[in-house]
Amino acid sequence: MPAEAAVHAPDDLVEYYFEQAWSDGLPVVPPTPAKIGAVVDALGGDPDYPEAVIPPRRGTLTREVLAINMVLAGCKPEYAPVVRAAVLALCTKQWNLNGVQATTHMAAPLLVVNGPVRNAIGMNAGHNVFGSGNRANATIGRAIRLILLTVGGGTPGDLDKSTLGHPGKYTYCIAENEELSPWAPYHVEHGYAPGDSTVFVIAAEPPHSVVNHVANDAQGVLDSIVSAMSTYAHNNAVAGGSCAVVIGPEHAATIAASGWSRLDVRSYLWMNAGNTWDEISFGDRYAGGGKVYNKALPKWYKREPGARIPIVEKPDDIHLFVAGGAAGRFSAFIPGWGRMTSPVLRKIDGAAPPAGAVCVDGTCAL
């Protein structure tokens, strides 16, 4: 079914899309048959092919509708495989897009792209990686958000009940800086070949900056990240789940010079970041004379005064990336939504995942 509204195009299409609320609040690029056709071709043709159903509205995302949203966002056709892989990752059951769309929490999908596609489409993995200035980063993330708004019905206050939201709900898409990383790329750590391209998607809070200009070893740099992680204000503290840590290239070089691997980093952060049970239970002050339990946290946590409560259940729940510019001693901690969602890593182009990983239909549960 052609996704064309039965109206004649007005003179000012940008204003028309604003009036229909088919926008994220910023001007959109008016779609034309030629632009839509180029994206549909990049997706493999067949414009009516249903790629996904987007909750909570449960609109059908055909290739043509995907193309419309990509054009509205300002994407080039060559971004299509990345956007499609990200959408399919978001729509896997364990990602729980329905919950992320509707929650009062501020979570937004954070995309991290790995592999040769980053450079092929000109993504930014360097300076200002979370900021503005790069078309691929900006419009891939924006296309995802437009799809969640229009097809998914995530209109603020209607089906999107987020109390605050965050700026990543305009666009939240980066690439790993594989060239400046002292370690194997994230997707290689997770079983893919360096020549594969992947997209990782996690429901995430905004990045929290971690500064450390003094430490000249792994422990010192990581202790600053531990400090950022060890609060009970973010969702991981009270609802577990997964989080992301983005190490800036200078910090990564310092850590690697101490001989530490990715697993060493994740394990150290897991071992040392956390709160006490007293902190997250408020000492039972609000338990009405009873005791707090907190069903969102793993059964095996000791719910006793003084017991340590880690930020996430295990080191594998800390997703580690190297990104950012060559200069500057900064990293970032990015809390997730909680155990109500699991991040998903998906290979771009739909080819079968490598043997050995626990994957279904190209999507790997982490």
Q: Which residues bind another protein (CB under 8 A)?
A: 1, 3-11, 13, 16, 22, 31, 36, 54, 57-62, 65, 68-69, 72, 96, 98-99, 103-104, 146, 150-151, 295, 339-341
Q: Which residues partner with 60 through β-bridges?
A: 53
CA pair distance 360, 342, nearest whole angstrom: 14
Query: What is the closest distance, in whole angstroms, from the C-beta atom of residue 285 to another protein in the complex?
Result: 14
CA pair distance 14, 187, nearest whole angstrom: 39
Query: What is the closest distance, in whole angstroms, from the C-beta atom of residue 38 to another protein in the complex?
Result: 14
Query: What is the closest distance, in whole angstroms, from the C-beta atom of residue 114 to another protein in the complex?
Result: 28
Query: What is the closest distance, in whole angstroms, from the C-beta atom of residue 139 to another protein in the complex?
Result: 14
The residue among 11 and 216 lying less far from another protein, judged by its C-beta, is 11
The residue among 104 and 216 lying less far from another protein, judged by its C-beta, is 104
- Report the 10 Å Cβ neighbour count for 178: 22
The residue among 65 and 255 lying less far from another protein, judged by its C-beta, is 65
Query: What is the closest distance, in whole angstroms, from the C-beta atom of residue 5 to another protein in the complex?
Result: 4
The residue among 16 and 232 lying less far from another protein, judged by its C-beta, is 16
* Best CA proximity match to 321, nearest among 262, 274, 238, 234: 262
- Tokens 């790993």 correspond to 176
Query: What is the closest distance, in whole angstroms, from the C-beta atom of residue 156 to another protein in the complex?
Result: 16
Query: What is the closest distance, in whole angstroms, from the C-beta atom of residue 30 to another protein in the complex?
Result: 8
Q: How many residues does the chain have?
A: 366
CA pair distance 51, 151, nearest whole angstrom: 12
CA distances from 344 to 41, 113, 165, 364 (A): 26, 12, 22, 6
Sign of the CA dihedral with 321 first, then 173, 343, and 188 last: negative
CA pair distance 281, 70, nearest whole angstrom: 45
Can you list the pairs that 24-28 forms with residues at least 24 positions away whose Cβ atoms lie under 8 Å? 24/142, 24/145, 24/146, 24/149, 24/169, 24/170, 25/170, 26/170, 28/72, 28/73, 28/74, 28/146
Q: Where are the alpha helices (DSSP H) in 116-217?
A: 117-120, 135-150, 186-189
The residue among 23 and 230 lying less far from another protein, judged by its C-beta, is 23
Query: What is the closest distance, in whole angstroms, from the C-beta atom of residue 107 to another protein in the complex?
Result: 11
The residue among 52 and 175 lying less far from another protein, judged by its C-beta, is 52
The residue among 21 and 263 lying less far from another protein, judged by its C-beta, is 21
* CB 171 within 8 Å of CB 137: yes
The residue among 195 and 289 lying less far from another protein, judged by its C-beta, is 289
